[in-house]
Structure 1
Amino acid sequence: MNTHEWLVEQFETNRSHLQAVAYRMLGDLAEAEDAVQEAWLHLSRSDMSAVKNIGGWLTTVVARICLDMLRSRKSRHEESLEAFVSEPITDTEDGIDPEQEVVLADSVGLALLVVLDTLSPAERLAFVLHDIFAMSFEEIAPIVERTPAAARQLASRARRRVRGGARATESDLASKREVVNAFLAASRTGNFEALLTTLDPNVVFRYDKVAGDTDAPKEARGAEVVARLFRGRAAAARAALVNGVVGIIVAPRGRLLIVINVAISNGKITEINAISDPQRLRGLNLAIIDG
Structure 2
Amino acid sequence: MTVNLSAFPGEKQGESGKVSLDDALYHIRVMACRVICDSMLLFPCYFNRLINDRYAPIRRITLTTLVEKNQIDAIPELTNSLVDSHISVREVARFYLNSVTKIDFANHYLDYMWGDNTKSLVTAIIALGEVGGPEHVEILAEYASHVDIKIKRAALRGLSLLSCEQFLELFYIALQSDNNGLSVEGYRGLRKKAHLIDSNRLLNVLLKSSEIHVVKYVLRLFAAINKWDQLCCLLSALQMINEDNIRVEIKAQLRKWISSFNRSVQAKPSSFDVEVVNKLLDRYQQDLSDKVVKNIKFMLR
State the TM bucket, normalised to the shorter chain.
under 0.3
**Which of the two has greater helix per residue?**
2
Q: TM-score, normalised by structure 1?
A: 0.22
Greater C-alpha radius of gyration:
2
Q: Which has the higher strand share?
A: 1
| Higher-RCO chain (CA-CA 8 Å, sequence separation at least 6) | 1
TM-score by length of 2: 0.22
